[in-house]
Amino acid sequence: MTTFNRRTLLKTGASIGGLAVAGAAIGTPLIAQSRSLKVGSYGGYFENSFKEFVYPEFTAATGITVESVTQPNSADWLVTMQQAVPAGSIPTDISLYGRDSMIKASRIGGLIAPLDISAIPKAENLDGYFVFEGPEGPQGVGAMSWFSAMVVNPNQVDIPASWADFWDTDKFEASLGLSNVHSNGLLDITAATFFDGEETMMSNEGILAILDKVRELKPNVTLWWNAESQMEQGMKNGDVIGGQYYLDVANLMAADGFPIKATFPKEGNLQDYGSWCLTAGSEKSAEAAEFMNYSSDPATQALMSRKIGTAPLVDKAMTDLTDDEFNFVSGSPSIKPAYEAYLDNETFIKESWDKMLAES
């Protein structure tokens, strides 16, 4: 599942292969020499922003030096960890995992360590959904999230109140841009709009019913995109007047004067997130708990929203984010991807999706 393993943020991305590890000690006061922590995160702009804005503040607050480790998307990193952990050569104490990779890791066992959540009291600031419970107890603490949103050209069409409006041919015939990847959210959006959400995704019959509904949408789709740049260009040149796109990128485009408006319809937008996980075999569980605790602080969540462009995992009222700052990266309600369905039934979902797309 590749759904929004997307903090190759803003396409500046980590084109990293295998175990491309770049270490750099950040802000090393003399008092911090005896305590350190290796933290993995996606590379490029994303990692650089952590190194510039987050790690130094953490070191100043705790005296723990951070060594930044570049990791690829969490699915590829999980493969690396399957080799590294049994060999006793772990590259990080903490890694960043999408929920789907956490589920995989917890099922494999022995890759991510259970957490003493009492040592991470600020995790209580997070919605319980973002503290991942594995078979051995808590195994992941939410780090940050990101949204894929409804977007429209406000010069061409009124802002829809519901995703269901995209099925209206009078408004959107041959004018929508949607991802052609089965796991990029249209199934979840359709399930939330017309069915019983994630529950409908849990059976083959439900999946086929959702696909039948997506099939009705096809006359309104002019672009099935597989690269962000395709959707970006379609919105800029007016070929596309609505669709699904990344909230942060859409807002950046709007700030640059392009005719695009991201909005939260009544069903919500698709929200994915990444979590900090403690690597099995790490001897830095105490330092890792301090880092996760620091990350869960509303002030840190606000810092990441401002400096990295991620959505906070705490209620806006707990932060000092302005309405404009919050709306640039987040909103409500949210639609959660059906992670378990994609993992357990990936072949059927992908094959049924590809068959639907290939139909004339």
Secondary element (H or E) of residue 243: strand 242-246
Place of tokens 């406000």: 154
Domains of the chain: 9-146+272-330 (3.40.190.10), 148-270+335-358 (3.40.190.10)
Q: What is the pLDDT of residue 246?
A: 94
Q: What is the pLDDT of residue 76?
A: 92
| Beta strand 221-225 pairing with 131-134 | unpaired
Convert the pLDDT of each residue in 247-289 to its tens digit.
Answer: 989 999 999 999 999 999 999 999 999 999 999 999 999 999 9
Rounded-to-integer distance, Cα 71 and Cα 75, Å: 10
Decide if 356 contacts 211 (C-beta within 8 A): yes
Exposed/middle/buried for residue 127 (C-beta within 10 Å: 0-12, 13-18, 19+): exposed
Rounded-to-integer distance, Cα 66 and Cα 35, Å: 9
Q: What is the pLDDT of residue 8?
A: 40
Q: What is the pLDDT of residue 360?
A: 80
| Residues lower than pLDDT 70 in the chain | 1-33
What phi, psi does 216 have (nearest 5°)?
-65, -25
| Beta strand 221-225 pairing with 176-179 | parallel
Of 184, 190, 222, 220, residue with least CA distance to 208? 190
Q: At what angle do helices 74-87 and 99-108 cross, to 10 degrees?
A: 30
Q: What is the pLDDT of residue 28?
A: 40
Decide if 329 contacts 247 (C-beta within 8 A): yes
| Beta strand 176-179 pairing with 242-246 | parallel
Q: What is the pLDDT of residue 45?
A: 87
Q: The whole model's pTM is what?
A: 0.87
Convert the pLDDT of each residue in 170-183 to its tens digit.
Answer: 999 999 999 999 99
Convert the pLDDT of each residue in 57-88 to its tens digit.
Answer: 999 999 999 999 999 988 899 999 999 999 99
CB atoms inside a 10 Å sphere around CB 338: 26
Q: What is the pLDDT of residue 300?
A: 98
Q: What is the pLDDT of residue 30?
A: 42
Q: What is the mean pLDDT of the chain?
A: 91
How far from the centroid of its chain's Cα atoms is residue 4's Cα?
5
